[in-house]
């Protein structure tokens, strides 16, 4: 289990508390009540990255993110913080994804608050989706928003990988006769083949490119116009943030750094938009994860700090709009 530690401002009392002082470490299956908690679940895996021919090292990502979270201030006095620890992928990715999905499902069933997955390669997404599906009714309509330079719609050949999770979700939706509601924000034309764009179009994937999202005067309007038709048709929202969506200068610690990338501020504004729209469209946003944190290539903990800030903002968004 990760050892949470950090600065202590005892002179400020409860208003000086930080994440490391709020966290409670529990195990999946524990009878400890998780109601009104933010719950962290780590996925120590880079097997999917290796299968996708990427730079390994993301297995150490969850604890790097925890280290960056530890000293952040805790702004939500009515909310507690729980850490379910890590699921580790040794040599069997599918088995580890199932174990991680079980932990996510447990947290969602026990908890009224936000559940946050810490990656790990983007193979975490298939586990996160499975966990949400298991926790809800079979007829639930799940929407996915992926901030990513890549569609991650590759066909497993033969292994699933960090590049295949949303193809796996698509196939799962086909099998269960449920709609495939998937949006990718920040996709790079320079990082996806025509075959991937063709499949995205054939599967009715919604997307905006990194270039389109770098027009600050129009980007939030474009996001609203793209997302609103999906948001009105779903019951549950799952948000996943791949750290390679951001410029390499901001997020060097990833498998595939981006030359252009999208703005962290844009992502933060979108997180708050998604939290706010729950009351408009009636869906629940209970699950989020951050993927591709690779400490081997990070510089001055830039990527870990960015991941921590995005998690902080997701918690703040949910807390402010529920």
8-67 pLDDT tens trace: 999 998 999 999 999 999 877 676 666 779 999 999 999 999 999 999 999 999 999 999
Which residues form the domain of 42?
10-320
Residue 85 lies in a domain: yes
The whole-number average pLDDT for the span 124-129 is 99
Residue 4 lies in a domain: no
The model's confidence at residue 222, banded by pLDDT at 50, 70 and 90, is very high
User: What per-residue confidence (pLDDT) applies to 317?
Assistant: 98
Distances (CA, A) of 305 to 27, 45, 58, 186, 219: 26, 20, 15, 20, 24
Residue 135 lies in a domain: yes
Give the closest residue to 228 by CA, choosing from 181, 170, 285, 281: 281
Q: Please list the alpha-helical segments (H only) found in the chain.
A: 19-22, 47-51, 61-69, 93-110, 124-135, 165-176, 194-202, 219-231, 264-276, 278-281, 302-320
The whole-number average pLDDT for the span 134-151 is 95
Residue 2 lies in a domain: no
User: What per-residue confidence (pLDDT) applies to 1?
Assistant: 81
Percent residues over pLDDT 70 in the chain? 98
User: What per-residue confidence (pLDDT) applies to 181?
Assistant: 99
Q: For 257-305, how does the pLDDT look when each residue is reduced to its tens digit (9 = 90+)?
A: 999 999 999 999 999 999 999 999 999 999 999 999 999 999 999 999 9
Place of tokens 């870990």: 304
User: What per-residue confidence (pLDDT) applies to 26?
Assistant: 86
The CATH number of the domain holding residue 92 is 3.40.800.10
User: What per-residue confidence (pLDDT) applies to 32?
Assistant: 64
Residue 43 lies in a domain: yes
Residue 218 lies in a domain: yes
The mean pLDDT value of the chain amounts to 96
Residue 25 lies in a domain: yes
- Count the domains in the chain: 1
The whole-number average pLDDT for the span 60-78 is 98
Kindly report whether the global pTM for this prediction surpasses the value 0.85. Answer: yes
Residue 286 lies in a domain: yes
């Amino acid at each position: 289990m990760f050892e949470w530690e950090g600065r202590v401002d005892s002179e400020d009392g409860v208003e000086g508390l930080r994440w490391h002082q709020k966290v409670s470490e529990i195990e999946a299956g524990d009878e400890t009540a998780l109601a009104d908690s933010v719950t962290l679940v780590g996925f120590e895996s880079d097997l999917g990255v290796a299968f996708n021919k990427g730079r390994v090292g993301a297995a150490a990502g969850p604890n790097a993110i925890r280290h960056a979270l530890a000293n952040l201030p805790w702004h939500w006095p009515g909310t507690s913080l729980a850490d379910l620890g890590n699921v580790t992928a040794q040599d069997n990715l599918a088995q580890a994804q199932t174990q991680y999905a079980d932990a996510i499902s447990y947290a969602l069933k026990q908890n009224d608050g936000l559940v946050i997955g810490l990656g790990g390669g983007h193979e975490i997404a298939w586990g996160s989706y499975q966990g949400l599906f298991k926790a809800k009714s079979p007829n639930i309509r799940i929407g996915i928003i992926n901030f990513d330079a890549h569609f991650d719609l590759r066909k497993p050949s033969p292994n699933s990988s960090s590049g295949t999770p949303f193809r796996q979700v698509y196939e799962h939706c086909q099998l269960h006769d449920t709609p495939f509601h998937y949006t990718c924000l920040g996709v790079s034309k320079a990082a996806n083949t025509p075959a991937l764009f063709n499949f995205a179009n054939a599967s009715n994937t919604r997307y905006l490119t990194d270039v389109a999202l770098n027009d600050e005067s129009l980007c939030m309007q474009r996001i609203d116009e793209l997302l609103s038709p999906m948001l009105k048709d779903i019951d549950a929202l799952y948000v996943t943030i791949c750290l390679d969506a951001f410029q390499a200068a901001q997020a060097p610690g990833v498998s595939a750094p981006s030359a252009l990338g999208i703005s962290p501020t844009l992502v933060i504004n979108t997180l708050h938009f998604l939290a706010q729209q729950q009351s408009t469209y009636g869906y629940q946003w209970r699950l989020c994860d951050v993927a591709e944190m690779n400490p081997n290539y990070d510089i001055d903990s830039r990527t870990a700090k960015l991941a921590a800030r995005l998690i902080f903002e997701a918690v703040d968004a949910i807390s402010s709009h529920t």
